[in-house]
């Protein structure tokens, strides 16, 4: 199946899921097999986009339906490239398309209104994910992670979020201090690769 066809099929499938489910975890469970299938599509990421950028991981919007109810993004991780610890504030799935990544998961522990610091961010797990592996994020408790490619080869991950994550106001967390700063991480392309 061409990537175009695959994305139109995906849109039909996700529209059906979103029409009958609101719970983030339920949506994720239903979207997961569709991402699994997408990861087997050899045409998903054009070859010129598979080359890592020199300074930072690359973030390419692959597909976004008209109503922006979800978006599919390819992240290209050069050797040693890292995404700082961040949240999403929406449901999302992360699948490995090429190579391997290390994902560290964090849990926010709230200390109450008057506490200083207000909360701490605690690391709860570290997983090395390889081709075909899928993980997920959703607020409030499964939303914070950091992703890195500490390996010698480039890696590509395919993410599906319940909004256009390139416009989503969210946070980067400083684990040591517990401080968060507001961030919007824009895509490295302006027009989706597929439509
Ligand atoms: Fe993330």
Domain boundaries, the chain: 3-162
Q: Say whether 185 sits in a helix, a strand or coil.
A: coil
Say yes or no to pLDDT of 110 above 90.
no
Long-range contacts, stretch 181-184, CB < 8 angstroms, 24+ apart: 183/86
- CA 143 to ligand 1 center in whole angstroms: 8
Determine what percent of the chain is predicted with pLDDT higher than 70: 100
Which of these CATH numbers, 1.10.4030.10, 3.40.50.300, 2.102.10.10, 2.60.120.10, describes 3-162? 2.60.120.10
Q: Which of 186, 189, 156, 160 minimizes the C-alpha distance to 76? A: 156
Which tens digits make up the pLDDT trace of 121-151?
A: 999 999 999 999 999 999 999 999 999 999 9
Residue from 124, 119, 91, 90 nearest 107 by CA: 124
Q: How far is the CA of 146 from the centre of ligand 1 (A)?
A: 7
Identify the band that residue 46 occupies on the pLDDT scale cut at 50, 70 and 90: very high
**pLDDT of 16 higher than 90:** yes
Q: How confident is the model at residue 5 (pLDDT cuts 50, 70, 90)?
A: very high
Ligand 1 centre distance from Cα of residue 191 (Å): 21
Q: How far is the CA of 5 from the centre of ligand 1 (A)?
A: 26
How many whole angstroms separate alpha carbon 121 and alpha carbon 85? 10
Ligand 1 centroid, distance to 76 Cα (angstroms): 13
Ligand 1 centre from 165 Cα, in Å? 10
Asked whether 171 and 182 are in contact (CB, 8 A), the reply is yes
Strands (E), 50-169: 58-63, 71-77, 82-86, 92-98, 100-110, 119-130, 134-137, 144-148, 155-161
Residue 129: C-alpha distances to residues 56, 144, 176 (Å):
20, 17, 25
Distance (angstroms) between ligand 1 centre and the Cα of 175 equals: 15
Confidence of residue 89 (pLDDT cuts 50, 70, 90): very high
Residues 194 and 60: beta-carbon distance below 8 Å: no
pLDDT confidence bin for 116, thresholds 50/70/90:
confident
pLDDT tops 80 at residue 117: no
Predicted confidence band at 189 (pLDDT cuts at 50, 70, 90)? very high
In angstroms, what is the span from residue 42 Cα to ligand 1's centroid? Answer: 24
Residue 142 alpha carbon to ligand 1 centre in Å: 11
Q: What pLDDT does residue 42 have?
A: 96
SS3 for 128? strand
pLDDT band at 99 (very low <50, low <70, confident <90, very high): very high
Q: What is the mean pLDDT of the chain?
A: 96
Question: How far does residue 28's CA lie from ligand 1's centre (Å)?
Answer: 15
Q: Ligand 1 centre from 92 Cα, in Å?
A: 8
Whole-number pLDDT of residue 119: 82
User: Residue 63 pLDDT more than 90?
Assistant: yes
Q: What is the dihedral angle through the alpha carbons of 122, 126, 131, 133, rounded to the nearest 10 degrees? A: -60
CA 86 to ligand 1 center in whole angstroms: 6
């Amino acid at each position: 199946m061409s990537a175009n066809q695959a994305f139109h099929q995906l849109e039909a499938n996700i529209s059906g899921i979103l029409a009958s489910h609101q719970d983030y975890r339920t949506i994720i469970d239903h979207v997961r097999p569709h991402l699994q299938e997408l990861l087997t599509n050899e045409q998903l990421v054009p070859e010129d986009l598979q080359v890592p950028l020199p300074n930072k991981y690359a973030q390419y919007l692959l597909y976004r339906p008209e109503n922006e109810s979800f978006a599919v993004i390819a992240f290209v991780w050069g050797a040693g490239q890292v995404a700082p610890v961040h949240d999403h504030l929406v449901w999302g799935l992360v699948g490995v398309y090429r190579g391997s990544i290390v994902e560290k998961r964090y849990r926010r522990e709230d200390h109450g209104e008057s506490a200083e610091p207000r909360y701490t961010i605690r690391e709860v797990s570290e997983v090395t994910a390889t081709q075909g592996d899928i993980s997920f994020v959703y607020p409030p408790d499964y939303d914070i992670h950091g992703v890195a490619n500490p390996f010698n080869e480039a890696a590509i991950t395919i993410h599906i979020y319940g909004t256009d994550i390139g416009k989503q106001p969210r946070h980067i967390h400083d684990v040591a201090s517990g401080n968060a700063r507001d961030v919007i991480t824009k895509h490295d392309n302006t027009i989706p690769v597929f439509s």
